Amino acid sequence: MRSRTANWFECKIRYEKTMEDGLQKKVVETYVVDALSFTEAEQRIMEEMSSYISGEFEVNDIKRAAYKEIFFSDEELADRWYKTKLQFITIDEKTEKEKRSSVNYLVQAGTLNGAVKNIDEVMGGTMIDYVIASVAETTLMDVFEYKKKEQDDKPEFEG
């Protein structure tokens, strides 16, 4: 289990999909990409999807995703994405009252219980008091992280 903070964008892709019964059906699927801008998000999703979709497709919508971090799982059966709202608990020193602040995360898991387990695994390593306010399965198809190209790993010049 690992987490990653970045600039996440939700992209809706529209295309004709061949269904299990062999018929063609127009579908809209949502993906998340890591990008610095809307322009880069559109470019990245088009690159990613061109290797999965044989026919034409269009980017229907792009919006900033409201996730603070994404928790990725290496488990083979972790094929779903869960939107999770965590509430962080702090004590106001002046009033000594409990204060809660909410943050949204995206968690990869195979089941709802698996998502809760993954949250506890990541957050258990922190000293922050938190409560899981909600966990809901999303319709996201996949998340594409930014990966450096191999040429980016080479030094610009050697001395």
For the segment 25-41, what is each residue's pLDDT rounded down to a tens digit? Answer: 999 999 999 999 999 99
Give the domain range for residue 35: 2-146
Q: Is the pLDDT at 157 greater than 60, yes or no?
A: no
The CA distance from 39 to 68, in Å, is: 21
Nearest to 132 by CA among 140, 121, 142: 121
Q: Is residue 117 a part of any domain in this protein?
A: yes
Residue 82 has pLDDT above 50, yes or no: yes
Between 149 and 23, the more confident residue is 23
Q: What is the 3-state secondary structure (H, E, C) of 12-45?
A: EEEEEEECCCCCEEEEEEEEEEECCCHHHHHHHH
Residue 152 lies inside a defined structural domain of this protein: no
Establish if 130 belongs to a structural domain. yes
pLDDT score, position 55: 83
Positive or negative, the CA dihedral 29, 114, 119, 149 is: negative
Q: Spell out the alpha helix ranges (H) of 28-133.
A: 38-50, 112-123
Cβ–Cβ under 8 Å, residues 86 and 119: yes
Domains contained in the chain, number? 1
Asked whether residue 153 is assigned to any structural domain, the reply reads no
